Amino acid sequence: MKELLNRIANFDYLFFDFDGTLLNSEVIHKQAHSFVLSKILGKEIQLTNREFEKYVGKTDNVIFEEYKTDFHVDFDKESMIKLKKQKSKELLLNENLKIFNYFFDIIQTYPQKKYYILSNQDEQLLITILKAKNIFNIFERIFSLATLNLTKKEFLNNLYFYTHATCKKSILFEDVDVNLKLAKDLGLLSVGVENTFNKNKLHNYDYLIKTY
């Protein structure tokens, strides 16, 4: 971590994914998706980690479209997404999930850097949880790709347009390997965040932070 903290001095813009990167929340979203799938299918569903891995790093809109194909079922997508957001919010607020310590090491060392959230998660859910964790005001802006209707690839390929940040002065903190590779290919410093959900599954990073 000390080496990474020293390296951060050369960068101005720090972009953080949310779920699995700032807190170990993927297991919570897995519970929320299992709850909604049970409603859709009319029977008890408990997604395993292996089953849920397919959907990690995607927006709810994409995930629920895939559910229609994967489970051979049709349903009102918008109402089910709304139900999933409500359940995720309820679980995240009730669970005592803590922001990973590495994040506080960084902001305490570099309080003047520009910090951003770059997540596929719903914007209002992001704002609610960040405020509940008392870190909302640290961020210059919250970029919800679900709200912007963009993929992470589309956003990073047009990074300067959205933020006036250049790739060579930016860092991406991320828990999904394909996004780490994308960041590296574009010239960002790529920092993998390993948690109990993605342990031993990240390979395309410049630095790796282990949170467990």
Domain count, the chain: 2
Structure confidence at residue 188 (pLDDT): 98
Task: Supply the pLDDT for residue 96.
Answer: 83
pLDDT tens for each residue of 122-146: 999 999 999 999 999 999 999 999 8
20 and 31 both lie in a single domain: no
Same domain, 104 and 137: yes
Domain boundary among 69, 94, 119: 94
Residues 88 and 186 in one domain: no
pLDDT tens, position by position, 18-68? 999 999 998 889 999 999 999 999 999 999 988 998 898 888 899 999 999
In terms of domains, do 81 and 184 share one? no
pLDDT at 166: 97
Are residues 167 and 123 both part of a single domain?
A: yes
Residue 19 is part of a domain; what is its CATH number? Answer: 3.40.50.1000
Q: How confident is the model over 174-178, as a mean pLDDT?
A: 95
8 A C-beta contact, residue 92 and residue 25: yes
Query: Of the candidates 94, 112, 144, which is a domain's last residue?
Result: 94
- Reference 13, options 105, 128, 115, 93; nearest CA is 115
Residues 68, 173 share a domain: no
Residues 51 and 9 in one domain: no
pTM of the model: 0.89
Q: How confident is the model at residue 13 (pLDDT cuts 50, 70, 90)?
A: very high
Q: Are residues 67 and 124 in the same domain?
A: no
Specify whether 80 is located in the same domain as 145.
Answer: no
Q: Are residues 109 and 182 in the same domain?
A: yes
pLDDT at 154: 96
**Which domain, by its residues, includes 126?**
2-24+98-210
- For residues 157 and 173, the answer to whether their CB atoms sit within 8 Å is no
Are 187 and 115 contained in the same domain? yes
Could you write out the DSSP letters of every residue in 84-131? Answer: HHHHHHHHHHHS-----HHHHHHHHH-TTSEEEEEESS-HHHHHHHHH
Same domain, 103 and 9: yes
Q: What is the mean pLDDT of the chain?
A: 94
6-16 average pLDDT score: 97
Q: Rounded distance, CA 140 to CA 113, Å? A: 10
Given 66, 94, 122, the domain boundary residue is 94
Residues 82-106 have a mean pLDDT of 92
Question: Residue 95 — pLDDT band, cuts 50, 70, 90?
Answer: confident
